[in-house]
Amino acid sequence: MLFRSRARSFALIAALLSIVVVAAIGCAAEPEIVERVVEVEKVVEKEVPVEVVKEVEKEVQVEVVKEVEVEVEKEVEVVKEVEVERVVEKEVEVVREVEKLVQVEVTAVPSLPNLEPQFGGTLRIGFLDQGQLDPMLAGLSQAQSPYGEIAYDSVVMYWYDGEITPWAVESWSSSDDLSQYTFKVRAGNNFHNGNPLTSADIKYTLDRIRAEDSASPLKGQISYIDTIDTPDESTVVLNLGAPNAFLMGDMTDYHARIVPNGIAGETLTGEEYGSGPYVMTSHNPTERTTFEKYTDYWREGRPYADEVVFFYIPEQITRIEALKTGALDVVPTPPIASLGAFAGNPEIRISDTPSADVVVIDMHTAYSHLQGIDGWDKFQGLEDPIFANKNLRKAMQYAVDRDFVVQAAQFGRGSPANDHPVGVNDQYYWDEQPIIKQDIERAKQYLADAGYPDGIEVTLNTSDIGFQLEAALAFKESVAAAGINVEIATHDTASYWEAQWMDPCCPFVTSNWGGRPANAAIDVQLRGGTVWNESFYNNPRLDELLDLAAASPDLDQRKEYFREMQEILIEDVPVLYLAYSPVIWAHRDNVGGVQAHAALAHWLIEEWWLLE
């Protein structure tokens, strides 16, 4: 059997991921795109016969290639003959030679630096898909968060520097014990129907989310709000059931977009009633959504573009080709493997920034705590899945090589994660935490302790969303040496979140998360019983620590609570947090103001403009 090196495996994974991408490799001809040549070893194996002649059989296969023309949406089938060599296995002597594989990296360039923003024009943005229009019910479709931000206002906003900025409110204050917060509503902010945005609208928005029958993912996260008072049209008072230091961060959540007082939920699912910088004028959830500039927007001088169009294009290669040809102006989060397609192209610019966005593998840890609870019907009567066995989870933890995942899945961009969602730049990140490194022998021992001394075969469910497919392939490669044989099941991107994610059919599944502050990240992803707890993890001590941290006015004490939370998650490993991913946006060279936001749920499209 021929020897397969890690370098050769890396090349194989890269080839699989770039099969639909035309990579431009060479020296940069334009200053906008900087190419850096990186040398990566690739093993080339030659076989020399020993006493037995090597036989080569050839056959011709017919390969059908589909080419998609973006503008006319026409498919053309091209039939070509491919000659395939089959080598009959013989006794051989292996001679190994090493050559160099050239990899191109595209460096980000500022968006039209040193130019004054211009007004007018139509911005065309390409997204994977669109889903729920009611902001409080926004799910995981790519365009839902930017839709909410472009059409609605939030109480406060995360700015590019991570600071919380007043938005629909002009100011806020809190009591010394953090049990009461008071907001002053911004004057001159009107909904698109002309009615002023008042304290009653903010109260109604939060009450909808907190309602007993609410299905909002934010519901549990703000359950600490007890009552809401509106002493006048410009004042909102939030009275908390317990002190909470994280309320202002929770108010930036994209489910908390402000809707008019009294509006029915069914109305919001088909129409837009916001106060944001753009007004929705048409909506086809499978094709496009069109917005026009709101001329009475409260931010003076914003927005810049007259019109914005969201195009929904499930195929990544089609979005990329549309950007290259000028059919689209911006493509958010293109796969890193596709960036080579832009190399040497002076008409394409890249905006990227480090972030706490993270690609993960979820292991369903338990179903028993869901029995008899409304809303979890499909889990009733089920036994706990195989990953309820902590030793099996620990085997996975030590079998994976996170550095390899970063290199193979993200082409070296980003950094390894450490089995919890707290970003390295978060003030609550535990600096002294033990960093998990691949340890094959330790993984084998955990596997034996879990009852699999001869190894295990598992199916990893994934889809071509974010870096999930890339990470799945890298994971499969890196854990094989521990006796973990992974079969990759790739599912349709359009139905993945509904059909496979958080479904008992798929107890081993990839996912990815946009960066959140530490409290929100742990609360949403790992608090017992929450609707987006995708590993079904249930640890009362973790839940208690979240509550203790929220109630503490002392920063050092909160840091200690978060240290223990990270310690618990590293030890219990309900989720394999593999790699932090940069936020990357690609755009045409005539688009200004585009700046990738470290919090992926924030877009600030009103800052974007077109050079005509």
Domain containing 245 — which CATH number? 3.90.76.10
Q: Which of 435, 359, 367, 439 is nearest to 396 (CA)?
A: 439
Query: Does the residue 111 lie in any domain?
Result: no
Enter the DSSP assignment of 230.
E
CB contact set of 144 (below 8 Å; sequence gap of 6+): 130, 131, 132, 138, 254
In DSSP terms, which residues pair with 301 in a beta bridge?
A: none
| Average predicted confidence (pLDDT) for the chain | 84
pLDDT confidence tier of residue 76, bands split at 50, 70 and 90:
very low
> Higher confidence at residue 36 or residue 80?
80
Verify that 407 and 518 share a domain, yes or no: yes
* Dist CA 151 CA 277 (whole Å): 6
Report, as an integer, the average pLDDT of 602-610. 93
Beta-ladder partners of 99: 42
Does any domain span residue 37?
no
Examine the pLDDT at 91 and tell me if it is beyond 60: no
Asked if 294 and 280 count as a contact pair (C-beta separation under 8 A), the reply is: no
Same domain for 440 and 578, yes or no, is: yes
Same domain, 385 and 249: no
Residue finishing a domain among 237, 268, 299: 268
Structural domain harbouring 235: 159-268
- Strand 180-185 to strand 225-232: parallel, antiparallel, or no bridges (unpaired)? unpaired
* Residue 361 and residue 232 share a domain: no
Q: Give residue 199's identity as a one-letter amino acid code.
A: S
pTM listed for this prediction: 0.70
Asked whether 218 and 205 are in contact (CB, 8 A), the reply is: no
Tell me the backbone φ, ψ of residue 585, rounded to 5 degrees.
-125, 135
Alpha-helical regions (H) of 211-362: 247-250, 265-268, 316-325
Task: Tell me: do 227 and 365 sit in the same domain.
Answer: no
CATH number at 575 reads 3.10.105.10
**Average pLDDT of the residues in 449-460:** 98
Triad 456, 459, 460: Cα angle to 5° = 120
Q: State residue 528's pLDDT score.
A: 93
Residue of 318, 306, 373, 350 lying closest to 529 (CA atoms): 373
Q: What are phi and psi of 506, to 5 degrees?
A: -135, 80
Does the pLDDT at position 364 exceed 80?
yes
Is the domain of 372 the same as that of 508? yes
Percent with pLDDT over 90 in the chain: 62
In a domain, 118, yes or no: no
Q: Measure the N-to-C terminal CA separation of the chain; round to a whole number of Å.
A: 61
The gap from C-alpha 314 to its chain's centroid, in whole angstroms, comes to 16
With respect to residue 538, please indicate whether it lies within any of the assigned structural domains: yes
The partner residues of 466 in beta bridges, in order of sequence, read none
- The mean per-residue pLDDT over the stretch 165-181 comes to 96
Q: Are residues 368 and 264 in the same domain?
A: no
Please give the Cα distance from 6 to 15 (Å, whole number): 14
Specify whether 362 is located in the same domain as 471. Answer: yes
Whole-number Å distance between alpha carbons of 404 and 14: 12
253 and 365 belong to one structural domain: no
Give domain status of residue 74, yes or no.
no
153 touches 254 (CB < 8 A) = no
Residues 377 and 263 placed together within one structural domain of the fold: no
The answer to whether position 441 is within a domain reads: yes
560-to-242, 557, 574 alpha-carbon distances in Å: 19, 5, 21
Domain count, the chain: 2
Type of residue at 470: E
In this prediction, residue 473 has a pLDDT band, given cuts at 50, 70 and 90, of very high
Domain-terminating residue out of 210, 235, 268? 268
Of the residues 268, 300, 322, the one at which a domain ends: 268
pLDDT of 566 > 70? The answer is yes
Can you tell me the distance from the alpha carbon of 490 to that of 469, in angstroms, rounded to the nearest whole number?
A: 8
Distance (Å) of CA 484 to CA 202, 400, 450, 460, 548: 51, 10, 13, 11, 39
- Paired with 276 in beta bridges are none
Residue 45 pairs in a beta bridge with 96
C-alpha neighbours within 13 Å on the C-beta side of residue 173 = 4
Q: Tell me the β-bridge partners of 158.
A: 164
For the chain, what's the residue count?
A: 612
Question: What number of helices (H) and strands (E) belong to the chain?
Answer: 14, 23
Q: What b/e readout covers 214-234, taking b as 16+ CB neighbours within 10 angstroms?
A: bebbbbbbbebbeebebeeeb
pLDDT of residue 30: 32
Tell me the two tokens of residue 366. 């338990």
Residue 66 pLDDT > 50, yes or no? no
- Whether 271 contacts 238, CB under 8 Å: no
The Cα 272–Cα 130 span in angstroms is: 14
Task: Answer yes or no: is 611 within a domain.
Answer: no
3-state secondary structure of 233: coil
Mean predicted confidence (pLDDT) in 511-527: 91
- Eight-state DSSP code of residue 541: H
Most confident of the following: 45-49, 91-95, 485-489: 485-489
Alpha-carbon distances, residue 485 vs 478, 532, 575 (angstroms): 10, 28, 19
Tell me the DSSP string of 586-598. EEETTEES----S
More confident residue, 274 or 161: 274
For residue 466, which of 406, 409, 524 has the smallest C-alpha distance? 409
Q: Would the pLDDT of 147 be above 50?
A: yes
Residue 499: phi and psi, rounded to 5, are -95, -35
Same domain, 238 and 385: no
pLDDT winner (highest mean) among 202-206, 331-335, 350-354, 529-533:
202-206
Using CA atoms, how far apart are residues 287 and 284, in angstroms rounded to an integer?
Answer: 5
Own/partner pairs, 287-293, CB within 8 angstroms, 24+ separation: 287/311, 287/312, 288/312, 289/130, 289/143, 289/147, 291/150, 291/151
Q: What is the CA radius of gyration of the chain?
A: 26
User: What confidence score (pLDDT) does residue 600 get?
Assistant: 59
Residue 276 predicted with pLDDT over 90: yes
> Is 439 buried (19+), middle (13-18) or exposed (0-12) by CB count in 10 A?
middle
Tokens 């799945």 correspond to: 472
> pLDDT at position 33, please?
29
Residue 345: helix, strand or coil by DSSP? coil
Residue 464 is predicted with a pLDDT of 84
Strand ranges (E), 21-168: 34-49, 56-69, 74-87, 92-107, 122-127, 156-158, 164-166
Selection from 89, 87, 96 nearest residue 5 by Cα? 96
Q: Is 449 helix (H, G, I), strand (E, B) or coil?
A: helix
368 lies in the same domain as 247: no
> Is 37 within 8 Å of 28 (Cβ atoms)?
no
Count of CB atoms situated within 10 Å of the CB of 588: 19
Q: Is residue 346 part of a domain?
A: no
Dist CA 286 CA 130 (whole Å): 7
